[in-house]
Structure 1
């Protein structure tokens, strides 16, 4: 299929597809005599895989390292990379939970200030409460 068809089916811009090709993520591209690209049907699956992996947090460099060459299997490497990504997500979740708890504490501290007290008066107390929890 040509790049226009692939772009339509994948929902990606042709420039994005060419970028992925230039990055070495799509390598089953045939050049026609007129210079046009001709993509194998598998290119759509590869693009869908790239989109899914990026949504899961994989960078293009990580994807490139995991993409097997034709006939090559990287099962163990793939499992290890997926496990690392899960660990990274869990670390981010823990950090986000910590940040949320800090912000909720700050909200409570601000609410505890008497009505009509200027913000600058309670600012030091609020900042101190953030430092204590950090």
Structure 2
């Protein structure tokens, strides 16, 4: 099939198909004498794998390393290892996101729990003192300086 038909059947643009081809992900193309690209039906399957893998967080380089030369020659051990590594990475990201969410929720509770009679600027100073006191010790000096400037700007805005 030619690229237009492949694009229509896959739901991808012709430029995206050419992009995958240029990146070495779609090697099934044959050039006809007239210069047209000719793709076998396996190209649809490969494109589906590429799009699905990208959706689950695999980079194009990772996908290229995992794709078999032909669909009948998958390297099972490498594929399973890559899938397990991706899951471990997702779990680590979930853990980090969960911690970030808890920190943001705590900040919201503290802002909402502003004592009566305390203005915005004073409450901000109070919360920043708590934040600085709970800051990890392994933070670099440059990072602390950047955060201090950001906090000063936030306090100035009220």
Q: TM-score when scaled to structure 2?
A: 0.78
The residue that corresponds to 1:3 in the other structure is 3
Partner of 2:79: 78
Q: Secondary structure at the match of 1:98?
A: helix
Q: Distance in 1 between matches of 2:41 and 2:23?
A: 19
For residues 8 and 116 of structure 1, what CA distance do their matches in structure 2 show? 65
Deviation at 1:8, TM superposition (A): 1.0
Give the direction of change, closer, same or farther, for the CA distance of 1:105–1:18 in structure 2 (3 Å limit): same
Match of residue 46 from structure 1: 46
Provide closer, same or farther for how the CA distance between residues 105 and 75 of structure 1 changes in structure 2, counting only shifts above 3 A. same
Where 2:45 maps in the other structure, the secondary structure is: helix
Match of 2:29 in 1: 29
Q: Which has the higher contact order (CA 8 A, sep 6+)?
A: 1
Alignment: residue pair count: 134
Match of 1:59 in 2: 59
Unmatched 5+ stretches in structure 1? none
Question: Shift in Å at residue 11 of structure 1?
Answer: 1.1
Measured in 1, the distance between the counterparts of 2:115 and 2:86 equals 46
Shift of 1:69: 1.6
**Residues 122 and 8 of structure 1: is their aligned pair in 2 closer, same or farther, counting only changes over 3 Å?**
same
Structure-2 separation of matches of 1:22 and 1:111: 54
Distance 2:85 2:126 in 1: 40
Between structure 1 and structure 2, the one with the greater Rg is 2
Structure 2: how far apart are the matches of 1:46 and 1:115?
63
CA RMSD of aligned residues (A): 1.7
Structure 1 residue 32, shift from structure 2 partner? 1.3
